[in-house]
Each structure stands twice: as structure tokens, then as C-alpha cells.
Amino acid sequence: MSASDDKAQIAWQPLTARGVAAFARASLGRLLLVQLIVALLAAGTVVWFLQECWFPTIGEAIRALPAKGELRAGSLNWTGLSPLSLAEGRFLAFAVDLDHTGEARSPAQVQLELGRSDFRVYSLFGCGRGGYPHDGALAFNRTELWPWWGAWAPAILAIVAGSVVTGLMVIWACLATLYCLPVWLVGFFANRDCRLGGSWRLAGAALMPGALLMCAAVFLYGWGALDLLRLAVTGAVHLVMGWVYLFISPLCLPRRPDPALKGNPFA
């Protein structure tokens, strides 16, 4: 094999079809390293978004709570006014409307509305409902929640970052296992030199371009360049992008040697 061929086999970027195909002949450690870098980038993007776009509104809502209040036996014991908007931002809003009259609605992209016996989440995709826990009591007042939030906010970000990294690595491994057979079949019928293990690594690398696209989309969403609908559309596009790389990248692999020519001295 020539020096140019050796250089082409170095797997270092999963951005092009040829770059993804190179991971079929790379080591498992190289693939896991690249996936870890992308997962850390995704975790950093999510943490940045939460800290800059959601956490300030959450802190403002906690400071707007009354000095006394709790959730007990599936009911909200509220001593303040209702309906009342606790905090409102461009991305997130909190309100208390014990009877869900609709008088505290917000133009925020996601709103949590707390009722007497349940809560509702409003967004572009409709309304979701949930109930409060019926066992025990939970503090719902400024006196107790504000110190708790100040102490646990950094830990929550760390937990989110670890969950994103771990979750993505597990999901990518499961999807690569699911996709490796179709990749191998594409390579087989296209007469490409790709074994099942290489197909698994190629499938894992093919998921990276879509993940990087979602990182960019979340960043642009946080900056206000994308709205929630465009973010959802980008989420669908990133799935399709992975499938496109799965079927195109095997075609960039070298062809299988012809067995009939292997023993021919004139070939």
C-alpha cells in the first residue's frame, strides 16, 4: 500500500463520507475517543444553555415565591395571589394559577403553570399535565428553596453533563449495533472491503455529523437565531443525516480484491 493510501486510512474527522469510512479500518479506541470528544462538546452545549437561558428564570421564580408554602398530599398550599406570574423569560416562564383560568399565560416558548392539584406545561407542541406527589410534603417557598437552589445548582449542572456524556455514549453504541448489519450489506453488495467489526465502527462514526449539527442548533437556539420549531426540525434532520452517512460512507471504502485474480501471476 502506498503512502497516500496509508494517509487516507487515518481516522481523525467524521465530517465527510470518506472521513467516516476511515473509521472502518481504525481501532475501537480511536472511535471511542472521537465519540467522547463529541459527547463532551454536546454536554458543554447543554450546560451552557441551561446556565444562560433557563437557570436565571428558575432563580427569579424561586425569589418570587412567598415565605410560606408547600406541596402536601397532592395539593399546592399557596398563600399568595392567583393567577400570578412568578418569572418570565424568552425561553421559560413560571406562573401560579390555582384554577387554570388562563390569565397568567406567557409568550415564552415553554411555560410551567402550577395549579391547585396539578401542573401544566405549555409549549409549541401543546399542553402536558402532571400531578403532584401524594406522599409526604415538599417545601414550596422562598425561605427553604432559595438556599437549596444556591447549593445544588452547580451539582445539577454537573449531573446533567455526566448524564449527557454517558447517555450519548450508550445510545451511540446501541445504534451502531443496530446499524452495523445494514452498513455491512451496503458494503457487500457494493463489493467493498468491510468486515462486520469495521461496519460497527463506521456506523458509530456516521452518527457524529448529526450530533455536531445538534450542538450547533442548540447553541443557535440559545442565542436566539433559531426558534423552538426550527430546533425541532433540525432534530429530525440530524437523524436523517446519520442515515445518509450510513449508506454513502461504505461506498468510499476500497473494493474487495477479486479472488480469481489473487493467484494469477499476470494480473
By mean pLDDT, which of 42-56, 155-169, 181-195 is the weakest? 181-195
Provide the pLDDT for residue 183: 93
Please tell me the predicted confidence (pLDDT) of residue 258. 61
pTM: 0.85
- Specify which of 49-53, 70-74, 250-254 reaches the highest per-range mean pLDDT: 49-53
For residues 123 and 108, is the Cβ–Cβ distance under 8 A? no
pLDDT band of residue 193 (cuts 50, 70, 90) is: confident
Q: What's residue 9's pLDDT? A: 57
Beta strand spans in the chain (E): 69-72, 75-78, 84-88, 92-96, 110-114, 118-123, 126-131, 137-139
Q: List pLDDT tens digits, range 107-162.
A: 888 999 999 999 999 988 888 999 888 887 888 899 999 999 999 999 999 999 99
Residues of the chain with pLDDT > 70: what percent?
93
Residues 159-184, mean pLDDT to the nearest whole number = 96
Do the beta carbons of residue 137 and residue 72 sit within 8 Å?
yes
Whether residue 261 is predicted with pLDDT greater than 60 in this model: the reply is no
Please tell me whether the peptide bond between 257 and the residue prior to it is cis, using omega within 30 degrees of 0: no
Are 75 and 56 within 8 A, CB to CB? no
